[in-house]
Amino acid sequence: PQPSPQPPQSNYAALATLGPQLEAVAGSQRFTATVVASAAAATLLSLALNGGRRSLGASGAVFGVAGALWRYHGEHAALLPPEGEAALRGAAQRAAWGAGWYHLMLWSRLDVSAHVGGALGGWAAAAAWGPTYTLEGGGGGLLGFLWGAGGGRAAQFRDRPRLRRWADAAPRAALPVPGLGPGYSLPAETAAARVKGVAGRR
């Protein structure tokens, strides 16, 4: 049986909430691959640490999606305006505290190893195949801002994951930032102004 006190429907509801957020930033193919990798990592760690006992549930995949979103937001937080970055870090801290208290209060009734395995699997999957966006253009790109190079290209985001075959070939004029609310997006020109401002203070 599932060790969690929550019914499987709760896991599916959480996945229905977080899943579209990850799919919006990663695309359907990478979203599916991340869920599969997270579920596999959760199952393997659960079996390894629970004496081979099996459990039923989608909690590992849920935490995998959360881990992938955590990595995505952390990777791009520095491009946000200062108030946006502060709000995102505040949301991350609240989520971490909530997850910590949840596991502390219900530790003996949860498959914690599956949750940890899923979160690590999701984070590692996102680190491998992204998305990992870099800012290009807007005055010569990031190096142009740092070195004072000129240029007239419009700023845009390009996907540059470690495994390049997974990259989104099309550039983006704005990045979705679901951690700051539905529909929130970061325009490339806003990110370019932030990078240029940081470089100018050095």
Tokens describing residue 163? 């495994």
Distance CA 109, CA 166 (A): 38
Task: Check residue 1 and give its pLDDT.
Answer: 39
- H/E segment holding residue 82: helix 82-105
Give the pLDDT means over successive 10-residue stretches in the chain (202 positions): 54 88 96 96 90 70 96 96 94 90 80 93 98 83 45 86 96 95 94 81 61
Distance CA 177, CA 69 (A): 10
Q: Domain limits of the chain? A: 8-129, 133-200
Q: Which of 187, 185, 188, 162 is nearest to 24 (CA)?
A: 185
Is 59 in contact with 12 (CB distance < 8 Å)?
Answer: no
Q: At what angle do helices 59-76 and 28-49 cross, to 10 degrees?
A: 120
Contacts of 8 (CB under 8 A, 6+ apart): 2, 56, 57, 58
Task: Check residue 58 and give its pLDDT.
Answer: 80
64 in helix, strand or coil? helix
Task: Check residue 53 and give its pLDDT.
Answer: 66
Tokens describing residue 124? 């590692």
| Strand spans (E) along the chain | 133-136, 156-159, 174-176, 185-187
In which residue are the tokens 């990259």 written? Answer: 167
Residue 28, CA atoms < 13 Å, CB-side half-sphere: 0
138 in helix, strand or coil? coil
Q: Which of 58, 89, 62, 59 is nearest to 73 (CA)?
A: 89
